[in-house]
Each structure stands twice: as structure tokens, then as C-alpha cells.
Amino acid sequence: MSENAASKPWAGRFAEPTDAFVEGFTASVGFDQRLYREDIAGSTAHARMLARQGILSADECASIVAGLERIAERIEAGDFSWSVPLEDVHMNIEAALTADIGEAGKRLHTGRSRNDQVATDIRLWLRGEIDAIQVALQKLREALLGLAEREAATILPGFTHLQVAQPVTFGHHMMAWHAMLERDTGRFIDCRRRLNQMPLGAAALAGTSYSIDRDYTAELLGFDAPCENSLDAVSDRDFAIEFVSAASILMMHLSRFAEELILWSSAQFDFIELADSFCTGSSIMPQKKNPDVPELIRGKTGRIFGHLMALLTLMKGQPLAYNKDNQEDKEPLFDTADTLRGSLKVFAEMMARLRCKPERMRAAATQGFATATDLADYLVHKGIAFRDAHEVVGRAVAYAIQQHRDLAELTLDELRRFSPAIGPDVFEVLRLDGSVAARDHIGGTAPSQVLAAVARARARRDCST
């Protein structure tokens, strides 16, 4: 047998070395080395369990644990050489351990396989990523709550079909985004709960004949319990798909939010000012201030959607149990987590420094007859059926359009041409402030309701921490 073949952990079956191109093509160490912390944590727990069960001696366990700690220190210090011929993070660490402590290093792999090892590493890594994402999500939610509280009474035109519909407040609008992010938070909590089952001990696919204690290993690693079925344990990637699905929904929300920031910061809207540090200029047009951060987040959403489709496609045709296809799960998963964390971080910082332009928002709300529905409701309160009131207001709007005036700018005599039920008190409902104040119920845009919604959101946050 050649020296190249003999260096492989599976070399006994093979009579010739791996093709040089195939060796590089099949290796994953270039990207899975970022799992080294999780791999060392899993190996440490596995060694302690083996020693507790009498499969390893206490001295062997101590030597393994100390050796793994030294390897972690070397990797952290940048003093560790990753080998492509050793294929992946697992074999690189095992080979380094054996070179350091000798025979005991070879005993570490007793009762496990790279199949359950990598499945455990990924779950450990993703659990940590979800925790970090929750922190980033909370920072963005706090920024929105602060904005909502500060701008609870700031008038903003509400849109449907991107046409002025009814007046709302900027604070109420921020709370709509907060509601989406609160659902996103719940999805990641649920995803974390489901993934927190431990594959280690499932071995290649059928479990092991050694008298291992999977409950003890799960306890050491902070898992809720071991995976129930060994076949499913090594081949399941539902947790990865579920994570990227939750990430896709969150990125969709951020993309919609980004689109509004892009519109609102344009000269045509001019509702907000983004801090200069989140924008760039033009190489040719000196007046430009481009909202690059929202645009880039809007663009990055597509790559996350692509990763979700890639993982679904990766798994759709696989028979049980583990297949080499599953090596392709890591790069989309890694990039999803990295992109999501970066997007949340910059979004939170950007929103914390966002400046509103209340005068521009209010001026825009006076266009498009935003209080027309309020006039219809006013007529209903006067005893007119809503459908009849709707027609009355429609005719009044048509007249106002001809006059190039808003409804609130018409005189009482002009308004009474369309219904004698209209009285002097009509101007209370045609005012923007009166319109938003009238929506004084849970979920409404009245400033008092916005402040109450902020308080409830903070109470829910405090209860969940």
C-alpha cells in the first residue's frame, strides 16, 4: 500500500492513493475548520463519557483532554497547519492529537463515527449562532422600540398600493416592523429547541456495541437529550433547513424594511435622513447620497433564499442514512449565519441613528385625501349607511381634486353640498391629529396606543429573559 493511502483513516480497504484532484475536490477542511471549537468540545465530552464507562482509563482521558486543549490553543494562536489530505476538521484534530499524545489519541474515536461527530458539531455550532442572532435581533428591536416611543405622535402617511391611504404615526409604523421581528425571534427560539438533540453515539448509522452513556454526553454538551433514532441522527438536516427558512423570513422582513428606508430617504419622499456612515456617494455626481446599506441588505436577501433552496434540493433525494452529499450543507449554512448576523448588526446601528423629518411626513399626509375614510365614518355616526357615506365622500373628493385642495381645505358650505348631515364639527375628523387620535384601541395608531404597545413589548421581553 502506498504512503498516501496509508495516511487515510480508512486506508485498510484501498490499494492505491486517492487521485490528487479528487483529494482536493472531496476535502472540506477549507471551510469546516471553523467548527474546531465544537469538534474539540464534542471530543472532550466523548472522552469523559468513555472514561466514566471504563472504556478509556482515567490517564488516557486526562491525556486526551489536555491534548485537545493544547490543540485549541494552537488554533487560536494561528499555529496550526490544516492538511487537505486529512480531509476535514475532525481528522486534522485527531491526527494532531495522536501526534501529540500517542496511542491514547487513537482510542478517542471509540464508539463514534465521523457521521455522528459532524452532525453533533454542526448542531453545537448552530446553537451558538442562534444565540448570537437572538442578541442581534434584540438590539434591532430595542432600536425600533426607542424610535416608536420617541415618534409616537409623529404623523406619517400610511400607504396601500403605495398610494396615500390613511394617516398613521411613525411610531405605529415602527411597531409594525417590531411585530415582524418578534415573530422572527419566536421562530429562532423554536428552531433552537428542536435542534438541541444530540446525534453523538449514533456512530455511522446503527449505534455502537460499546456500553456508552449518551445521556451523560448530552448533559456535558448542554443538549436536552440524545437523538432517538441512530439512522435519523446522522442523516437529519432538518434543523439546518429550518434555520435557513427562519433566516429567509427574517431577511425578507429586513428587505421590505430596507425598501421603505430607500424610498423614504429619496428626494421624492424625504421623510428620513440616514446617517452618512451608512451611505456612500457617487464617483461622478457630487450631490448623491446613496442608501447603500439598505440596498445591500435588500440584495443579500436573495442569496439567503438561494441557500434555502440549495439545502432543500440537497436533501430531497437522499436515501437513509448518511451520504457524502451532506458535506454540501455547511457552506450555505455558514454563509446564512454570517450574512444574517452582519445584516442585523448594521441595521440596528443604522436605525439607532435614523433622523425623522416630521414636517415632510405631515405635508405628505395632507396629500392624497388621507382623511377621506374619517369623513365617511363621521357620516355613519350621523346615521347615514356606510355605502351611502362612501359615495358622498367620493363625490366630495372628486370636487376637491378639481379645486386642487384637500378635504380639510374646503369650506363648510362646500362640504354641505354633498350632505346636509355635515356640521361644523366635521373639521375635527378631517384634521390629521384627530384622525390618528380616533384610532384609540389595541392595534390602533393613536399615540397613546403606540406607547402602550411599546410598554407591552418591553414587558414581554422582560418576561422571556
Q: Please state whether beta strands 197-198 and 225-226 pair in parallel, antiparallel, or not at all (unpaired).
A: parallel
Grid cell in block for residue 87: 480531509
Select which of 161, 283, 404, 441 is catalytic: 161
Residues in the chain, how many? 465
Grid cell in block for residue 301: 436577501
Is 282 annotated as catalytic? Answer: yes
DSSP letter for each residue of 219-285: HHHT-SEE-S-HHHHHH--HHHHHHHHHHHHHHHHHHHHHHHHHHHTSTTT--EE--GGG-B--SS-
Handedness of CA 419, 421, 425, 431 (dihedral sign): negative
Residue carrying C-alpha cell 441613528: 353
Select which of 2, 266, 277, 282 is catalytic: 282
Q: How far apart are CA 15 and CA 393, in angstroms?
A: 88
Q: Helix (H, G, I), strand (E, B), or coil: what is residue 460?
A: helix
Q: How far apart are CA 247 and CA 240, in angstroms?
A: 10
DSSP state of 366: T
Is 161 annotated as catalytic? Answer: yes
Active site residues: 161, 282
